[in-house]
Structure 1
């Protein structure tokens, strides 16, 4: 069994200095001005010591998992305006790349499911998709879905994020003259939501087995069933919302149309604690956006565009007793003045 000082395969961890060098090379090679001479120096570095090559193979494996998607941390290092900020960004990148003593955090491969999903939206992006049966699905920022239609069921797997579903009649059943259309089901990590001719949203919150999903119904009804078979399902009608865990589903009060503001690229807040507002805004922004505990309970009210998060931060600094502190463009803290 590997110890705290070894990799999962029993090998020795890669030295911190080598990790930093590897992360720095990743940043340099992603720059617009990377030249043939740069590539030659990078190749020489890899060949200079077996540890260099082992570190780079870690990075190659990581990038393959991400299908070549650039890292926001690497971009932060590229755009750093001072040497000290660049060093800090590279250090943060190295920590992310060589987490847990050099071992990749690939438990269950769960973090990589979104990258292989049938449809996914990036940070700050919304997508609309029409499924083969005519059902329309809108993906909020940072959302991924898989679609599996069989002869007996239409299933949409919510891998992560938030969706608005507007179900259509089952065209296959209609064409076949079947009196029983295939059920339409949204599968989350906590359970199943079966549509009963409806318009509804599902949001995966916190993720993993210990997380929960929130369901809000705006037309029709849905039947919500927890993953554990012994748990009782709950039917939510239009105007209701519920919270789903592995073990239970509970009524969570009334569903508000304001919760659909994201489909129009907006956040609607009514006396929302600043910490909650910033957590919502952070979903639409690359990097780290934090709230100083001293400002957490300040209340936010208004309608804010998600397409320009810098503008929203400026608005907060104007309307609330706060200041916005930028370490880099991708590391921001809102503090009380």
Structure 2
């Protein structure tokens, strides 16, 4: 079977799992164990599942969950899931697998580059490195990268470039993160010049403690001051009055499996907000701490699957 056909088969299986996790089942533990076995069969299974889950969310589609679907309805949902992926196939992980350096879900890796700079990759991230006599360019394929830039005797510029923006170091420490159709740049030390890829006239210089978000053609908001150091560098996620949905989305980036929110409780749980610090290197412990801080129930029938609902 060629690579394209193999990926199509995995996509169909992942879509089936999307539908299954949108429906109640009498034996949730058995379903969770079956899902974990499927993920263990091939390293691509879990990654394609998460890609499809993100595409489904970005298309603002939510499977019905009130009762078990009849067979024709399930096929309709499956066709819809596959259709969304087909329209957005360019977002599937070909570029990730071909990248020079990458991290798995839940992995954070520190790299020492040829020039002595240190690049730290956050979870589920990938970069290509383009270093020659004229340039030091890090191409951010996906995810997030944090750079501690070494001075270069030859004066070569150091740039982290995403699809939306380029961020050139005028100092030493900064991070760049791709989130959907936008790029976020956060400066910890000295200055960074941020330029939109589609319009060089859209450019701003950031100083230490500043952050900005932009698309390929425009700034999304004003420069923000007083942004704290990235907690993930210290295996922490820091939240201040964050909606529960945002907290769970961040934890999903580091959880090697599924964090499943009971859809019957979604409307009530969407009102909850959280302030505090959670560990990112143990998402099970993070979810347990979260359930003690908020009126949540938390169960983990197997390591890879976490079930979140309201506390009865």
1:266 maps to 236
- 1:49 matched residue in structure 2: none
Supply the distance in 2 between the matched residues of 1:326 and 1:146 (Cα, whole angstroms): 36
1:204 is matched with 178
Pairing partner for 1:256 from 227, 238, 245? 227
Between stretches 324-333 and 154-163, larger displacement belongs to: 324-333
CA distance in 2, matches of 1:164, 1:87: 33
In the alignment, is the contact (CA less than 8 A) between 1:231 and 1:247 conserved in 2?
no
Measure the CA separation in 2 of the matches of 1:58 and 1:110: 13
CA RMSD in angstroms comes to 3.4
Alpha-carbon deviations, 1:266-295, whole Å to 9, x = none?
112222211111111111102222443321
Contact 1:294 1:335 in 2 (8 A): no
What stretches of structure 1 of length at least 5 have no aligned partner? 1-55, 66-72, 74-79, 174-180
Gaps of 5+ in 2: 11-16, 18-27, 39-44, 53-77
Name which structure has the greater RCO, CA cutoff 8 Å, separation 6+. Answer: 2
Q: State how far apart, in whole Å, the 2-side matches of 1:187 and 1:328 are.
A: 39
| Counterparts of 1:191 and 1:218, CA distance in 2 | 18
Q: Displacement, 1:254?
A: 1.9
The match for 1:26 is none
- TM (norm. structure 1) is 0.65
**For the pair shown, which has the larger CA radius of gyration, 1 or 2?**
1
Q: How many residues align?
A: 253
Q: 1:108 to 1:321 in 2, by over 3 A?
A: closer
Alignment of 1:1-337 (within 5 A): 61-62=6-7, 82=30, 86=34, 100=82, 107-108=89-90, 111-171=93-153, 173=154, 181-206=155-180, 211-229=181-199, 231-249=201-219, 250-257=221-228, 259-291=229-261, 292-326=266-300, 329-337=303-311
Q: Is residue 270–residue 302 contact of structure 1 (8 Å, CA) maintained in 2?
A: yes
* Residue in structure 2 matched with residue 15 of structure 1 by the alignment: none
1:316–1:217 CA distance, 2 compared to 1 (3 A):
same
